[in-house]
Amino acid sequence: MKILNPFARIFRSWSWRLAMIYVLVFGMSVLALLAFVYFTTLSSIDADINSGLKSESQAFAKEFERRGPQALILSIKEHITENGSDGSIYLLTDSDFVPILGTIPRWPDEMLKHGDWNSFNVEKIDSNGDYEQLTYGRAILLHLNNGMHLLVGNNLQQRDSFIDIIEQSIIWAIAAMLTLAILGGWFISNNVSKRIELVNRTTRHIMDGYLGERVPITGSNDEFDRLAINLNEMLATINRLMNSMREVTDNIAHDLRSPLTRIKSRLEITLLTERTIEPYRSAIEATIIETDRLLATFNALLLIAETEARIGADLSEAVNLPLVAQDVIELFAPLAESKGMNLRLDHRLLGNDRGLVILGNRNLIFQAIANLIDNAIKYGHNLESNQITVALKPQKRSRTLILSVSDNGTGIPANGPTITDRFVRLENSRTSEGNGLGLSLVKAVAEMHKARLEFTDNHPGLSVRLIFPIMTSENSPHDDSQS
């Protein structure tokens, strides 16, 4: 069994099967071509022979009709003198098939005495007076008006010799074809195996911990190169996600360690000292506030995960984006006013743009706009201006709708961190409210709705844009009652 295992492994190999398929297809194609050439050549030679014999026999028949038997005999003698050496067969007999003149000594036994075309063995008389079979012949039989019989034929020896040459050539062609097919199959199989082995080697290195390994690209832009490009992009995405997971883990540890430490310290201090009911109540209330923040963080993480996984989200709802934006603004207006900021709604939202709708989930879009406005309230103020502007601008040519939230704050640094990653916050002290998950959720909602999320400089401040595709008649829902 151990001896057969390597062969069994070869036979199970896809590259070996590919080589065998190549040999089979190539071999069948060449065999079909050779068979076509062989039978076409054979048919052409036979057609030429039959045509010549038919023409010659018709010429003899006309000679007999015009000038009689003696002229026919003279004509046959001339043809024997001219063509006798090249395999032509002539035999003129009386009504009893007794030979009168010809190139063969007697009427062939295989030759029918009635009919047109016949095949027979060509014989001659040897030195002992015996008949000796030579080759195979084909002839046409004519029955003349005076009872005589004329046989006009051809010795097929040259034809058979030529066919033998063709058959030998075909045998050599088949041998050459099999050799080339095997070599070609081996070359294809070997090339495919090498390219697949490059992928296997790379994956083994990655499994061994070398996460920076990538599948080599030859530059031929063939199927294997495109596969390698896709695999490398997938590996880069996996590597980026793993790095992001490490950063998320570090940020979670940092963000949760402080509130958990405060909760633990507060409870320990409360237990170590004897106090009245009010200090205990205050400690419990402070603990509840801390746990609410922790729950908010975990809820935000869960919502982002569900959004990215498309769990429980109905995207077939017709959402009137201007109305949703207006509802969010009305909700956050008191908070903005308490922070001394002016939350302004672009007046164009209240005009003809009310009819602009997108397909999606209203609750998630509401949450994404709320996160953008909340960030603007937290970080969008300066000493000169505290203006926050929410605007919608339709793009008729591209069939998109741009929702922008702009502030006059400090903006974001040009080469700063990717602020849509989880737990990323631009302040290193991490003392302000928030958990760094707001823009991560906005990004997830945008990807779910096939929208683009862009960050631009507002001079000063930041302008965040969500670019949604507008609902068209092709993708509109069938609910006609939706306004």
Q: What is the pLDDT of residue 430?
A: 47
The answer to whether residue 121 is domain-embedded is yes
Residues 168 and 29 in one domain: yes
Residues 296 and 333 in one domain: no
Domain end, chosen from 307, 339, 360, is at 307
Q: What are phi and psi of 394, to 5 degrees?
A: -75, 145
Residues 30 and 77 in one domain: yes
Domain end, chosen from 257, 272, 307, is at 307
Residues 18 and 115 in one domain: yes
Residues 414 and 384 in one domain: yes
Residues 28 and 146 in one domain: yes
CA-based end-to-end distance of the chain: 75
pLDDT at 173 over 50: yes
Which residues share a beta bridge with 92? 101, 150
Pair 94, 147: CB distance under 8 Å? yes
pLDDT at 105 over 60: yes
The residue assigned the tokens 């862009």 is 454
Q: Assign residue 414 a region: left if phi > 0, alpha if psi is -120 to 50, beta otherwise?
A: alpha
Axis-axis angle for helices 157-207, 14-67 (nearest 10): 160
Say how far apart CA 53 and CA 61 lie, in whole Å: 12
The residue assigned the tokens 């038919």 is 54
The answer to whether residue 405 is domain-embedded is yes
Say how far apart CA 465 and CA 33 lie, in whole Å: 66
Question: For residue 451, what is the domain's CATH number?
Answer: 3.30.565.10
Q: What is the pLDDT of residue 483?
A: 34
Mean pLDDT score, 93-107? 83
CB atoms within 10 A of CB 224: 20
pLDDT, tens only, 421-434: 655 555 554 445 55
Residues 38 and 78 in one domain: yes
Q: What is the pLDDT of residue 482?
A: 39
Question: For residue 63, what is the domain's CATH number?
Answer: 3.30.450.20
pLDDT, tens only, 131-147: 556 667 788 888 888 88
Q: Assign residue 42 a region: left if phi > 0, alpha if psi is -120 to 50, beta otherwise?
A: alpha
Structural tokens at position 464? 């965040």
- What one-character-per-residue DSSP string does 399-425 give? TEEEEEEE--S----TT---TTSTT--
Say how far apart CA 72 and CA 59 lie, in whole Å: 10
pLDDT at 353 over 60: no
Say how far apart CA 283 and CA 152 lie, in whole Å: 129
Residues 353 and 423 in one domain: yes
Mean pLDDT score, 26-45? 87
The answer to whether residue 100 is domain-embedded is yes
Residues 167 and 239 in one domain: no
Q: What is the pLDDT of residue 102?
A: 82
Residues 140 and 228 in one domain: no
Tell if the pTM clears 0.85, that is, is over it: no
DSSP-based three-state secondary structure for 309: coil
Residue 196 Cα distances to 211, 216, 233, 340, 469, angstroms:
19, 11, 17, 64, 41
The answer to whether residue 353 is domain-embedded is yes
Whether residue 460 is preceded by a cis peptide bond, meaning omega within 30 degrees of 0, is yes
Mean pLDDT score, 430-441? 64
**How many structural domains is the chain composed of?**
3
Residues 331 and 446 in one domain: yes
Say how far apart CA 359 and CA 321 lie, in whole Å: 10
Residues 45 and 173 in one domain: yes
Domain end, chosen from 267, 291, 307, is at 307
The answer to whether residue 209 is domain-embedded is no
Question: For residue 294, what is the domain's CATH number?
Answer: 1.10.287.130
Do you know the residue count of the chain?
483
The answer to whether residue 439 is domain-embedded is yes
- What one-character-per-residue DSSP string does 322-383 give? HHHHHHHHHHHHHHHHHTT-EEEE-GGGGTGGGG-EEEE-HHHHHHHHHHHHHHHHHH---S
Which residues share a beta bridge with 10? none
The answer to whether residue 74 is domain-embedded is yes
Q: Which amino acid is at 229?
A: I
pLDDT, tens only, 206-241: 888 777 788 888 887 777 788 888 888 888 888 777
Sequence-separated (6 or more) residues with CB below 8 Å from residue 279: 270, 273
The percent of residues in the chain predicted with pLDDT above 90, rounded, is 0
pLDDT at 251 over 70: no
Q: Which amino acid is at 122?
A: V
Say how far apart CA 46 and CA 53 lie, in whole Å: 11
State the residue range of the domain holding 332: 314-469
The answer to whether residue 5 is domain-embedded is no
Residue 341 Cα distances to 3, 349, 350, 388, angstroms:
83, 21, 22, 7
pLDDT, tens only, 281-334: 777 888 887 787 777 767 766 666 666 565 556 677 788 888 888 888 888 888
Q: What is the pLDDT of residue 478?
A: 45
pLDDT at 15 over 70: no
